[in-house]
Amino acid sequence: MNRVPRFRFAPSPNGELHLGHAYSALFTAEAAREAEGRFILRVEDIDFLRCRAALVDRMLEDLAWLGLSSQEPVRYQSKTMGAYRTALSRLSALGLLYPCFATRQEIREAVGDDPGHPRDPEGMPIYPGLHKHMAPHERQRLMDEGRPYALRLDMERAIAMAERKAGGPITFREYGTGPAGEEGELPVNPARWGDVVLGRKDIGVSYHIAVVVDDAAQAITHVTRGQDLFHATDIHRLLQVLLDLPEPVYRHHELIGDETGRKLSKSAGDRSLRALREAGVTAEEIRELLGFARQTVR
Ligand code: GLU
């Protein structure tokens, strides 16, 4: 049986959609069209402290204005929090998570101003391991006191377990390109992220856990997104192996440059789609500028 390819566009509603989002959404829709696949929307609103319902409506409206709508019911992360917690419980049962009570300030102090301290692909200092080896009774005491904590992945153990399960190094298939031109079958390197947070102190879950659970729940076969998320694929593939989730292929795209935005936004003052629209720019002009003019039927 031939599987219909499934593509998703998964914006986070923590601001107005701008040209970069439009590019990513059109890129995804075009990829789905070319593959005779489905274009599916997901609203990544786990961050209920920052996402506002009004912004979600505006976002869907902006997409509709661009001519894009989901071919399936939209999935809202805020409504499926239980699924992410279940995934975290599984990782916890595997002994791969530990609570970290450290505050940002404490982490900053532990890293100090050592310029040689290793950094992750986003430039953040690798977590220095505070609280990783805390005695169980001490952990319990802090929990009983109600001290807030994040759940971190024990990266070393996670990699060892995942490689054992996969029978060797974990890879992914890149059909687009990474920021340094990476393409084809690529090895992942999750170790460069250190012990990442999978359960945030404030909301209990994280982007990384939600994205892999959702891609599986929505049976996504093709993950199309900006190159800013290319390195995060390390963590996503690792989690897919650990949680026995299917492996999608990846197609990362370039981020559109400021120059492109400037061409249109002169009159609007900013690059949000709404501002452009209010300044009289048409959806067709945006599609054209971004290289996705509607194909004329021949
Ligand atoms: N929600 C993420 C963003 O808006 C995209 C997540 C993804 O495509 O994996 O940047």
- Give the pLDDT confidence score for residue 1 in this predicted structure: 55
**Residue 243 maps to a domain:** no
**Residue 39 maps to a domain:** no
Pocket of ligand 1 (CB under 6 A): 10-12, 44, 211, 225, 229
What is the C-alpha to C-alpha distance for residues 182 and 200, in angstroms, rounded to an integer? Answer: 30
Quickly count: other Cβ atoms within 10 Å of residue 175's Cβ: 14
- Give the pLDDT confidence score for residue 233 in this predicted structure: 98
- Give the pLDDT confidence score for residue 298 in this predicted structure: 43
**Structural domain boundaries enclosing 186:** 81-217
Would you give per-residue pLDDT tens digits along the chain (298 residues)?
Answer: 568 999 999 999 988 999 999 999 999 999 999 999 999 999 999 998 888 889 999 999 999 999 999 999 999 999 999 999 999 999 999 999 999 999 999 999 999 888 899 999 999 999 999 999 999 999 999 999 999 999 999 999 999 999 999 999 999 999 999 999 999 999 999 999 999 999 999 999 999 999 999 999 999 999 999 999 999 999 999 999 999 999 999 999 999 877 776 766 555 567 799 999 999 999 999 999 999 987 654 4
CATH of the domain at 115: 3.90.800.10
**Residue 74 maps to a domain:** no
Q: What distance in angstroms lies between residue 297's CA and the mean position of ligand 1's atoms?
A: 32
225 CA: nearest ligand 1 atom: 8
State the total domains in the chain: 1
Closest-CA residue, ligand 1 atom 4, reads: 11
pTM (predicted TM-score): 0.94
- Give the pLDDT confidence score for residue 265 in this predicted structure: 58
44 CA: nearest ligand 1 atom: 1
228 CA: nearest ligand 1 atom: 10
Q: What distance in angstroms lies between residue 151's CA and the mean position of ligand 1's atoms?
A: 21
Sorted by sequence, the CB contacts under 8 Å of residue 140 that are 6+ apart come out as none
**Residue 190 maps to a domain:** yes
Nearest in space to 83 (alpha carbons), one of 216, 197, 196: 216
**Residue 125 maps to a domain:** yes
CA atoms within 13 A on the CB side of 258: 0
